[in-house]
Chains A and B, each alone.
Chain A
Amino acid sequence: DTEVTQTPKHLVMGMTNKKSLKCEQHMGHRAMYWYKQKAKKPPELMFVYSYEKLSINESVPSRFSPECPNSSLLNLHLHALQPEDSALYLCASSPPGGYSPLHFGNGTRLTVT
């Protein structure tokens, strides 16, 4: 069982909808991440939070809005998405600092219609 839990597992939304992806970890990790993976492509970093503060934004469009309410939770708010945003959205966590590996959740499969 993965120690990073993502909900929902699948999401279908229209281009005018507002939805949120949720991620939770209870490993005491203080760094959390959002990655995006398109079909047959590698995961690509979107955002990094360190100690609940946004530390990296990889020039992600504003229709994606991350939020870190506390050290265990990470949300990704979605609004006015495009069909090309359909992808697997992966959340990950790690201890901050050093070269600790990222622990990934199983992802949310998002389809934008």
Chain B
Amino acid sequence: DQQVKQNSPSLSVQEGRISILNCDYTNSMFDYFLWYKKYPAEGPTFLISISSIKDKNEDGRFTVFLNKSAKHLSLHIVPSQPGDSAVYFCAGGGGGTSYGKLTFGQGTILTVHP
């Protein structure tokens, strides 16, 4: 049972344009969501998060949108830069007894072309 899905294995974008990465989830118990970026041979690096009580969170070039009714979230990167090329994972987490357990999506490979 894949609780977090990233249906696009890859995305290619021109430098300066917007990158939109999508994520769907099935577990309505998730009460926060995170996006991580991962370069080869490195661990995931935290980018941005959003609580389930919000529908938008912004940090510089990165904005995460949450649509609870659709169980969908997206990460917008504007403007995209070649250094953003990496694998992006979305993850869902829940508090209480499941605190600290993040369930990751399969990842989307973003390539930003100069």
Contact partner, A31, options B36, B100, B107, Cβ 8 Å: B100
Contact partner, B100, options A42, A102, A105, Cβ 8 Å: A102
Q: With A41-B106, A56-B101 in contact, do A105 and B43 touch (Cβ < 8 Å)?
A: yes
**Interface membership of B41, Cβ < 8 A:** yes
**Interface membership of B42, Cβ < 8 A:** yes
B106 A42 Cβ-Cβ under 8 A: yes
0/1 string, A35-73, CB within 8 A of B gives 1? 000000111110010100001101000000000000000
Which chain B residues numbered 66 to 108 have a C-beta less than 8 Å away from chain A? 89, 93, 95, 98-102, 104-107
Q: How many residues of B contact A (CB 8 A)?
A: 25
* Contact stretch, chosen from A14-22, A77-85, A93-101: A93-101
B42 A42 Cβ-Cβ under 8 A: no
Q: With A90-B43, A99-B95, A104-B43 in contact, do A42 and B49 touch (Cβ < 8 Å)?
A: no
Contacts of B89 in A (CB 8 A): 42-43
Contacts of A107 in B (CB 8 A): 42-43
Contacts of B98 in A (CB 8 A): 56
Q: How far is the CB of B62 from chain A (nearest CB, A)?
A: 13
Q: How many residues of A contact B (CB 8 A)?
A: 29
A45 B102 Cβ-Cβ under 8 A: yes
Q: With A42-B107, A101-B49 in contact, do A90 and B102 touch (Cβ < 8 Å)?
A: no
A101 B34 Cβ-Cβ under 8 A: yes
Which chain B residue has the least Cβ–Cβ distance from A107? B43
Q: With A99-B93, A101-B49 in contact, do A42 and B43 touch (Cβ < 8 Å)?
A: no
Q: Which residues of A contact B (CB under 8 A)?
A: 2, 4, 6, 31, 33, 41-45, 48, 50, 55-56, 58, 90, 92, 94, 96-99, 101-107
> Closest 8 CB pairs between A and B?
A104-B43, A42-B104, A101-B46, A99-B32, A48-B100, A106-B43, A104-B44, A106-B42
